[in-house]
Structure 1
């Protein structure tokens, strides 16, 4: 197994501009670094993301063999709860309790969504509740005080821990994780977060005692406000532009209460062109749905996402370079590192990812590419684990998957190819039709056959395949009539027996 490559924690984050586009149907948030979009978040009014939501669930089925259970929380599909996400297991990992000793069918329990439903999979749950604030994450069932790994200065970590402990009320109950944003927070801001999260947990508990099963007890903030809570950073966020007057007012009120440093950077966009169009975001979104990503000087990436994994292939294309071939390959791979890291964030690709860099002969080049790749990946807000080169020269990494990727949100499988990504040729369909006519002729005593197909297939029958069609008619001794239907995709056809 390859060694895990540590991601640097001190990579300077480029200044970011955040664009918030709001319509009655959806909210879209784009994060730009160096005038290039690197993140896109979409929340539609008819389908809010579920991560962070807290429900009163009902255990419908316990599966001892899988050490998991299906829990009904009122969604179309039952949600999935694994033993590792049960609070008793997390608090006592060495005890390793069996799930059938912890849960039983019909049991009601408080659960939180940690992964949205993806494709045919239901949501993933945890019984360990966490409530996110601006600077802190509250763990009401735990006594642990943790600190974000991105804060790596030991003196700063100790200082934050001592400040938090001094601010906690005597009988506070529960634990906390100190978020990266807390580095620049004052005591008053931390105290406000503690008070807000404590009241929020009290309200959730009160509702749980009086609500029926399958009730939504808590929904996370809307995307427009999560921008301020989760994405704003006083040191790197340059500006936040919002194109809705109503939501700009709501965001300013929220900023005034919880994120005061964001207020001066929050602007109402009033340009003549639409916000996303003005910054070139619409064009970049269209490009993010294509498998090919063009780099400089003719080199490019090919990105293919499947349910099992995502593969990324780096190609030099027409790039020949100004020096020797090894330097050309090395330069292309270095550029690809940053492009790949950006595309992973923009497309929100998760799970297992395999990168096929162009083969490098020199070990020093391979090591330099891995270092550059780790540096580029360290800017990702989502957890990434990077492994070194395999024996086949591939780089493996995993990226935490919490919601659907961009293509799954914006697209659906092609009705013509059923998601295969390619179509049978018109000639292939012609030959399928002829074989089926021969089969049907043996089974039924029809007077004639009428073929209804796409314009491409009928045109081929009348032109290049006219001789084969004539041979078929002679063979079965019955006429074959052709009819075009412009609504038929290339692979669809019907044979009507008359």
Structure 2
């Protein structure tokens, strides 16, 4: 698999396109006047407690108060406790916070419409290889690192480094740490510790407001998106190229040589048809190569996707035509969900098929396609309605 990152930078906004095997897979946009808040850490004050919703509203200095659910207001010992399932319990919100309390929270979800940001008291600070968990003592490993020997090596190395440096915190080892050297892990760990120390110093103030802001999109791209498959990072702004190279020298030395300044006559997003892909992502109908179509409709409660054969008539029999159209649609759906950043409940109306084996194969292909595109999706079995 070949992967390339294209960065288009202007004073007003930054856009990042992820190209895999020559096809646009994802587009990220950050506007200077409306930067996302996810990952930011704030000192807040509890403005209102709502026992009936197991939640509280927290003033963090923004236009609208943030929403803190009880499950996000307790230490995350494990998933059962934080989610309140499989025997885990979530304490009453009245036992966790009171009106007027000062709390330190991190944004999980940006404000949307009339709703404020969703926040948690379970803080985390990310770097290239590690995520620091203040107040925790556990070491977790990304599930995508599958080899038992590598998981054990990384766990032991992080524990040993934490002990040597007397770090009182937990860590999550990210997927890109697979094969990382002890020196790289140590550098990452020290960076995170320094970042947390800066935040703790700012806690001495009693003012409500921002304590820590996540990196801008350009640097987050290098931190989070560059993998071994990334062959080139092309940027159309010289100052951004220098900033990325400086960042790479400190944290991603093996990446510096892949960062290039793009000075072509055409805008960088005309490469690989990125601009065209963005316009297509705004349309409700998606054309499949076979002649079939997807029709996507988004509402507040869910997204529906309708699969049609369109002009595809097949070569053999009707069942085979429907099966092939559905298979192509499954791969396209995974791409469109990532490209359009669609989450929540998604209902797909595939074309009805008679053979049970074809139905099972379709669910398997859809699940694999979603997994390849990095979507943390849960796929239910196909219903009797198709």
Matched residue SS, 2:199: helix
Q: Work out the CA distance in 2 between the residues paired with 1:327 and 1:228.
A: 44
Conserved? CA contact 1:89–1:96, under 8 Å? no
1:160 aligns with 154
Conserved? CA contact 1:111–1:127, under 8 Å? yes
Which of 91, 96, 110 lines up with 2:104 in the alignment? 110
1:240 aligns with 233
1:15 aligns with 2
2:20 aligns with 33
Structure-2 change in CA distance of 1:273 and 1:327 (3 Å): same
Which of 200, 212, 220 lines up with 2:207 in the alignment? 212
Matched residue SS, 1:290: coil
Give, in angstroms, the shift of residue 90 of structure 1: 4.8
Aligned residues: 378
Q: Work out the CA distance in 1 between the residues paired with 2:15 and 2:324.
A: 35
Q: Work out the CA distance in 2 between the residues paired with 1:327 and 1:95.
A: 49
Kindly report which structure 2 residues correspond to 1:53-452, keeping only aligned pairs within 5 A, or say none.
Answer: 53-88=40-75, 90=77, 93=81, 94=88, 96-170=90-164, 171-213=166-208, 215-234=209-228, 236-393=229-386
Measured against aligned partners, the alpha-carbon deviations of 1:370-414 in whole angstroms (never above 9, x if no partner) come to 111111101233421111112322xxxxxxxxxxxxxxxxxxxxx
Alignment RMSD, CA only? 1.3
Conserved? CA contact 1:89–1:97, under 8 Å? no
* More displaced stretch, 46-55 vs 181-190: 181-190
1:495 aligns with none
Give, in angstroms, the shift of residue 134 of structure 1: 0.3
2:84 aligns with none
Q: Work out the CA distance in 1 between the residues paired with 2:77 and 2:272.
A: 45
Give, in angstroms, the shift of residue 89 of structure 1: 6.3
Give, in angstroms, the shift of residue 95 of structure 1: 5.3
Give, in angstroms, the shift of residue 211 of structure 1: 4.4
Q: Work out the CA distance in 1 between the residues paired with 2:361 and 2:119.
A: 40
Give, in angstroms, the shift of residue 141 of structure 1: 1.2
Conserved? CA contact 1:84–1:90, under 8 Å? no
Matched residue SS, 2:290: helix
Name which one, 1 or 2, has greater alpha-carbon Rg.
1
Conserved? CA contact 2:150–2:179, under 8 Å? no
Conserved? CA contact 1:241–1:267, under 8 Å? yes
Q: Work out the CA distance in 1 between the residues paired with 2:206 and 2:102.
A: 11
Q: Work out the CA distance in 2 between the residues paired with 1:198 and 1:172.
A: 8
Kindly report which structure 2 residues correspond to 1:457-472, keeping only aligned pairs within 5 A, or say none.
Answer: none
Conserved? CA contact 1:129–1:139, under 8 Å? yes
2:85 aligns with none
Q: Work out the CA distance in 2 between the residues paired with 1:232 and 1:207.
A: 31
Q: Which consecutive aligned stretches of 4+ in structure 1 deviate over 6 angstroms post-superposition?
A: none
Matched residue SS, 2:203: helix
Q: Work out the CA distance in 2 between the residues paired with 1:231 and 1:63.
A: 39
1:417 aligns with none
